[in-house]
């Protein structure tokens, strides 16, 4: 019975929506008091609940049983319980289980390289999806690092589709915008199995780079620099239908101390791991600006030095780009870091710009 209801859900709700505005909700945010119920579902039609883990035998399991199924959350139990409740209130809402993240980057290559383990993964993922009342899975392998892993990634998607058929379930995958990883994957083959490619069009610069730079620029000033636009062009040029691409928006900024802009050697980074959540930006005593040539916002001054991020102006630029290129829409990492001020909310800005005439 579950399968037929999810078939109806998938077709009914996707056909009514022009563009997807998707948000990742990480389960660890529940410990900070954030809940799925805090997000504005007038502006959100897809939630990626992150992350489930994958074991070396291919089995998929919830990474935090307490946060996912037991913690008091929006009047029910657990983040997943809250989202199932929200799905009943908002029939347009799709909820997908994101599997992986940074902790699974060592396990995915093992599982994907073996026929039996791939089958275990697909069966286990379907069991978890059906038991939780979810609409599908998102594969967040960070990332296939050579051509063999790229081929194994495509083989994993093929196994998943056998057990989670297209007319019933969503299958998506997060991939970076940089050519270094994308060139390992047969993009056209991968896209044939996927509903969406979530293009991680951010983290182009950070504390790990010698020089400061924009972390999520839409366009690059120099050909060798990564950008959201270049990632989209690569995917489309290698056979991914544009409507299957969701362009990623970071809900945090990257900090560089001791500099006032991109292209400089810096003195380290402010904030936790060199990052500030978007709802704390711009920093106190810092001046916000937008570089329209590249599609990037920033603030300079205060405790962050030069902080690079997206603001409502750059999200509007990115939504306009999505419409011009025929993309599927936008996604945001992470929902709880958005501003509670409606005029500053990136999720709302993206939704409005995607759906304005």
Contact 159, 212 (CB under 8 A): no
Count other C-beta atoms under 10 Å from residue 339's C-beta.
20
- Would you call 142 a catalytic residue per the annotation? yes
d(CA 118, CA 122): 6
d(CA 83, CA 304): 35
Count other C-beta atoms under 10 Å from residue 289's C-beta.
15
The catalytically annotated residue of 65, 130, 142, 224 is 142
User: How many residues are given for the chain?
Assistant: 357
| Closest to 85 (Cα-Cα) out of 36, 129, 126, 21 | 36
Contact 112, 149 (CB under 8 A): yes
**DSSP letters for 268-335:** ---SBTTEEEGGG-SPTT-EEEEETTTTEEEEESGGGBEEEE--HHHHHHHHHHHHHHT--EEEEE-G
List all residues 6 or more positions away from 14 whose beta carbon is below 8 Å from its beta carbon. Answer: 94
Sign of CA dihedral 113, 197, 293, 216: negative
Contact 262, 253 (CB under 8 A): no
For the chain, what is the radius of gyration of the CA atoms?
19
Active site residues: 142
């Amino acid at each position: 019975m579950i399968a037929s209801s999810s078939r109806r859900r998938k077709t009914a709700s996707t056909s009514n929506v022009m563009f997807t505005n998707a948000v990742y909700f990480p389960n660890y945010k529940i410990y900070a008091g954030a809940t799925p119920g805090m997000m504005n579902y007038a502006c959100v039609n897809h939630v990626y609940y992150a992350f489930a883990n994958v074991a070396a035998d291919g089995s998929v399991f919830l990474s935090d049983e307490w946060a996912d199924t037991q913690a008091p959350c929006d009047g029910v139990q657990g983040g997943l319980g809250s989202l199932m409740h929200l799905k009943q209130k908002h029939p347009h809402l799709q909820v997908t289980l994101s599997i992986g993240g940074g902790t699974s980057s060592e396990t995915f290559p093992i599982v994907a390289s073996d026929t039996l383990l791939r089958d275990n993964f697909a069966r286990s993922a379907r069991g978890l999806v059906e038991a939780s009342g979810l609409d599908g899975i998102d594969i967040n392998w960070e990332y296939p690092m050579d051509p063999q892993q790229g081929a194994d990634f495509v083989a994993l998607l093929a196994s998943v589709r056998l057990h989670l058929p297209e007319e019933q379930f969503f299958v998506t995958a997060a991939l970076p915008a940089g050519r270094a990883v994308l060139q390992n994957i047969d993009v056209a083959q991968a896209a044939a199995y996927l509903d969406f490619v979530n293009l991680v069009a951010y983290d182009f610069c950070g504390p790990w780079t010698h020089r400061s730079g924009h972390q999520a620029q839409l366009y690059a000033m120099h050909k060798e620099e990564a950008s959201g636009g270049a990632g989209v062009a690569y995917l489309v040029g290698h056979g991914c239908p544009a409507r299957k691409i969701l362009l990623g928006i970071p809900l945090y900024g990257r900090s560089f101390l001791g500099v006032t802009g991109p292209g400089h050697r810096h003195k380290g980074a402010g904030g936790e791991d060199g990052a500030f959540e978007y709802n704390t930006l711009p920093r106190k005593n810092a001046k916000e600006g937008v570089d329209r040539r590249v599609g990037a916002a920033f603030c300079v001054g205060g405790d962050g030095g030069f902080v690079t991020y997206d603001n409502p102006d750059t999200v509007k630029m990115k939504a306009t780009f999505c419409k011009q290129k025929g993309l599927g829409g936008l996604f945001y990492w992470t929902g709880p870091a958005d501003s509670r001020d409606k005029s500053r909310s990136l999720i709302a800005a993206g939704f409005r710009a995607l759906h304005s005439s």
